[in-house]
């Protein structure tokens, strides 16, 4: 039983929400990963 | 507050399930700060002396208890509040976790301000620990319900956030303390206040974003797999009935042993690498090694949980146990051969499987016990983490100390521990091997009145 089994284009509002919400968590996470990676490179220096 | 009710979080038409992982990450990235709490330890030993510890300043050993109490309460609260989290819905749980987490920071800030350590134990330790437990399990069953086709990947994304939270918290905390610290004052209390406010905002956004799928919702084009084809049950087991099954305790031991093997070396990685390769790995390089391990810990959470969707949960744990056994046996040889690259590679893979153990287990539980109480059952299982948090470091530290005291060179002092860790993984392998499908007598019946959920109105959410 599926409520809506037909793939359909997402409404623009949903797409905007998706982009914003992923940026909201993605930007700090990517910053943290890059920062850690830079520090981790000291292992090879 | 009706806004928090489960019935108010049912997804409406046009909702995309890909909005749920960021909601979960909002919570997990915040509570993952716990792994970075150690950045406060040294500054908190100088609150009175400012430039160095003065009489009356707190000792590092006393401060170490803050993190230990928080992890203890993580296990306790996830076990105690698991059913409430499951039945109350993710929004109520996330909101509660946000209040406790921010409250814990604010209470701790007050404790720092009046220089009373037990208030910090109460704030970050107890209140923060409760937030850790509730926050950790709150999005798990919701994600599993939204991603029945890829439950491992979905929970892996959230639990990866818990591993990644420290990456953000560590530089942010150091930066904030730098801003608030003056010649006459260490800015720990102010940093706690800012972190509490920022984390509260982040977690509230997560609780607003989160939605549960309507009853009977399935992603477009997805057909549930045939019964018992891959040890995947379509029957639900009541949370407290799960405790009566051998499967729960076998998986408990699998998790406990896998975590024990990883957590001990994670905490001692810096010292271990320097002692095993004196002159080759400097303190700065060791710090880089620890950072690299943290990245693999985080990446492993997503990679292994996603892989488990394709090879199965039981097989994934077989890989952890067999590969872990081989790698732990290899570590002493990398030391005697002076192979830094071999040593680093061994531990990066080991630590990725440590993270993978955490992130794969919710989907394993879902396969065994169904989706209805998976969050609550997961909460009960996290007591294995608390137990491993004691076993792991004790094994590594005490055996090393015993060996050094008995004349074993420091470079070889960890060899016995590595073989013991390998032995633990053999036991884990056996436990995992013994996991079979849950007996039908434990399955919930249609008319089972226990934990009846409010009716969820159907809606047209999208895949």
Residue of chain B minimizing CA distance to A35: B167
- B285 pLDDT tier (thresholds 50, 70, 90): confident
Least confident span in B148-162, B227-241, B271-285: B227-241
Helix residue ranges, H only, B406-454: 415-433
* Residue A5 domain-assigned (yes or no): no
Residues B300 and B384 grouped into a single domain: yes
3-state secondary structure of B10: strand
Contact yes or no for A45 and B285 at CB 8 A: yes
pTM score of the predicted model? 0.87
* Residue A7 domain-assigned (yes or no): no
- Residues from B contacting A (CB-CB < 8 Å) are 13-16, 18-19, 22-23, 25-26, 29, 161, 164, 166-168, 170-171, 205, 209, 214, 216-218, 220-221, 281, 284-289, 291-292, 294-295, 298, 344, 458-463
Alpha-carbon separation of residue B456 from A6, B11, B120, B298, B447 (angstroms): 21, 10, 41, 35, 17
Per-residue pLDDT of B295-349, as tens digits, reads: 999 999 999 999 999 999 999 999 999 999 999 999 999 988 989 999 999 999 9
What share of chain B in percent tops pLDDT 70?
A: 94
Chain B hits for A13, Cβ within 8 Å: 14
Contact yes or no for A25 and B161 at CB 8 A: yes
What share of chain A in percent tops pLDDT 70?
A: 80
Per-residue pLDDT of B340-376, as tens digits, reads: 999 999 999 999 999 999 999 999 999 999 888 898 9
Per-residue pLDDT of B391-441, as tens digits, reads: 777 777 788 888 888 888 877 888 888 898 999 999 999 999 999 988 888
Q: Which of B26, B291, B463 sits opposite A7 (nearest CB)?
A: B463
Q: What mean pLDDT do residues B97-107 have?
A: 98
Angstrom distance (rounded) from CA B135 to CA A45: 39
CB B209 within 8 A of CB B19: yes
Residues B299 and B190 grouped into a single domain: no
Q: List all residues 6 or more positions away from B171 whose beta carbon is below 8 Å from its beta carbon.
A: A32, A35
* Residue B234 domain-assigned (yes or no): no
DSSP string, A8-33: -PPPHHHHHHHHHHHHHHHHHHHHHH
Give the closest-approach CA distance of B30 to chain A in angstroms.
10
Task: Check residue A7 and give its pLDDT.
Answer: 63
Domain count, chain A: 1
Q: Does A3 contact chain B (CB < 8 Å)?
A: yes
CB B261 within 8 A of CB B319: no
Task: Check residue B228 and give its pLDDT.
Answer: 57
Q: What mean pLDDT do residues B248-276 have?
A: 87
Joined tokens for residue B223:
């057909």
Q: Domain range for residue A35?
A: 12-44
* Residue A2 domain-assigned (yes or no): no
Give the closest-approach CA distance of A5 to chain B in angstroms.
4
pLDDT at B457 over 50: no
Q: Which of B220, B285, B344 sits opposite A5 (nearest CB)?
A: B220
* Residue A3 domain-assigned (yes or no): no
* Residue B227 domain-assigned (yes or no): no
Residues B281 and B401 grouped into a single domain: yes
Residues B356 and B405 grouped into a single domain: yes
Q: Domain range for residue B178?
A: 2-209
Q: What mean pLDDT do residues B10-32 have?
A: 93
Give the closest-approach CA distance of A27 to chain B in angstroms.
10
Chain B hits for A10, Cβ within 8 Å: 14, 16, 462
pLDDT, mean over chain B: 89
Joined tokens for residue B213:
């799928």
Residues B243 and B200 grouped into a single domain: no
Residues B254 and B205 grouped into a single domain: no
* Residue B463 domain-assigned (yes or no): no
Give the closest-approach CA distance of A45 to chain B in angstroms.
7
Residue of chain A minimizing CA distance to B282: A43
Residues B86 and B151 grouped into a single domain: yes
Q: Does A36 contact chain B (CB < 8 Å)?
A: yes
Domain count, chain B: 2
Task: Check residue B328 and give its pLDDT.
Answer: 94
Contact yes or no for A5 and B171 at CB 8 A: no
Residues B246 and B366 grouped into a single domain: yes
Which of B438, B153, B431 is CA-nearest to residue B314? Answer: B431
Residues B111 and B245 grouped into a single domain: no
Task: Check residue B315 and give its pLDDT.
Answer: 95
* Residue B281 domain-assigned (yes or no): yes
* Residue B414 domain-assigned (yes or no): yes
Distance of CA B113 to the CA centre of its chain: 30
Residues B32 and B79 grouped into a single domain: yes
3-state secondary structure of B339: coil
Q: What are phi and psi of B237, to 5 degrees?
A: -120, 135
* Residue B433 domain-assigned (yes or no): yes
Domain boundary among B209, B224, B252: B209
Helix residue ranges, H only, B181-245: 188-209, 239-242
Residues B204 and B247 grouped into a single domain: no
The CATH number of the domain where B162 resides is what? 1.20.1250.20
Residues B80 and B165 grouped into a single domain: yes
Task: Check residue A2 and give its pLDDT.
Answer: 42
B413 or B146, higher pLDDT: B146
Alpha-carbon separation of residue B314 from B250, B365, B382 (angstroms): 12, 11, 18
3-state secondary structure of B334: helix
């Amino acid at each position: 039983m599926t409520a809506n089994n037909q793939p359909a284009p997402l409404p623009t509002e949903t797409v905007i929400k998706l982009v914003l919400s992923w940026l909201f968590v993605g930007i700090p996470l990517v910053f943290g990963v890059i920062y850690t990676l830079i520090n981790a490179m000291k292992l090879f220096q | 507050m009706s806004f928090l009710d489960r019935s108010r979080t049912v997804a409406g038409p046009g909702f995309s399930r890909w909005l749920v992982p960021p909601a979960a990450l909002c919570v997990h990235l915040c509570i993952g700060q716990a792994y970075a709490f150690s950045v406060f330890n040294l500054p908190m030993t100088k609150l009175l002396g400012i430039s160095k510890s003065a009489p009356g300043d707190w000792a590092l050993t006393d401060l170490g208890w803050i993190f230990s109490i928080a992890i203890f309460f993580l296990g306790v609260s996830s076990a105690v509040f698991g059913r409430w989290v499951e039945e109350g819905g993710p929004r109520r749980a996330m909101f509660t976790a946000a209040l406790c987490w921010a409250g814990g920071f604010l209470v701790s800030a007050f404790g720092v301000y009046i220089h009373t350590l037990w208030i910090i134990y109460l704030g970050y330790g107890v209140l923060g620990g409760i937030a850790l437990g509730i926050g950790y399990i709150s999005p798990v069953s919701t994600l599993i319900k939204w991603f029945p086709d890829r439950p491992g990947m979905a929970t892996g994304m959230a639990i990866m956030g818990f591993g990644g939270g420290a990456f953000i918290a560590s530089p942010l905390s150091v930066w904030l303390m730098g801003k608030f610290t003056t010649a006459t004052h260490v800015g720990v209390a102010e940093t706690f206040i800012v972190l509490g406010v920022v984390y509260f905002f982040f977690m509230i956004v997560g609780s607003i974003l989160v939605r549960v799928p309507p009853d009977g919702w399935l992603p477009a084009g997805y057909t549930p797999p045939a019964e018992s084809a891959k040890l995947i049950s379509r029957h639900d087991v009541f949370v407290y009935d799960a405790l009566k099954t051998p499967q729960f305790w076998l998986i408990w031991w699998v998790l406990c042993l896998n975590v024990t093997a990883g957590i001990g070396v994670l905490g001692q990685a810096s010292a271990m690498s320097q002692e095993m390769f004196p002159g080759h790995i400097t303190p700065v390089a060791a710090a880089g090694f620890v950072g690299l391990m943290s990245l693999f810990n985080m990446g492993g959470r997503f990679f292994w949980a996603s892989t488990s969707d394709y090879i199965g949960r039981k097989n994934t744990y077989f890989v952890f146990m067999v590969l872990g056994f081989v790698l732990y046996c290899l570590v002493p040889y990398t030391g005697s051969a002076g192979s830094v690259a071999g040593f680093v590679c061994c531990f990066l893979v080991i630590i990725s499987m440590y993270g993978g153990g955490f992130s794969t287990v919710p989907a394993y539980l879902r396969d065994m016990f169904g989706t209805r109480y998976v969050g609550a059952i997961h909460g009960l299982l996290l007591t294995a983490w608390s137990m491993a948090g004691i076993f792991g470091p004790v094994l590594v530290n005490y055996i090393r100390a015993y060996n050094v005291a008995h004349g074993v060179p420091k470079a070889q002092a960890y060899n016995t521990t590595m073989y013991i860790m390998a032995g633990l993984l053999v036991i884990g392998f056996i436990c995992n091997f013994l996991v079979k499908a849950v007996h039908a007598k434990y399955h919930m019946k249609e008319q089972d009145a226990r934990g009846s959920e409010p009716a969820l109105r159907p809606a047209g959410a999208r895949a």
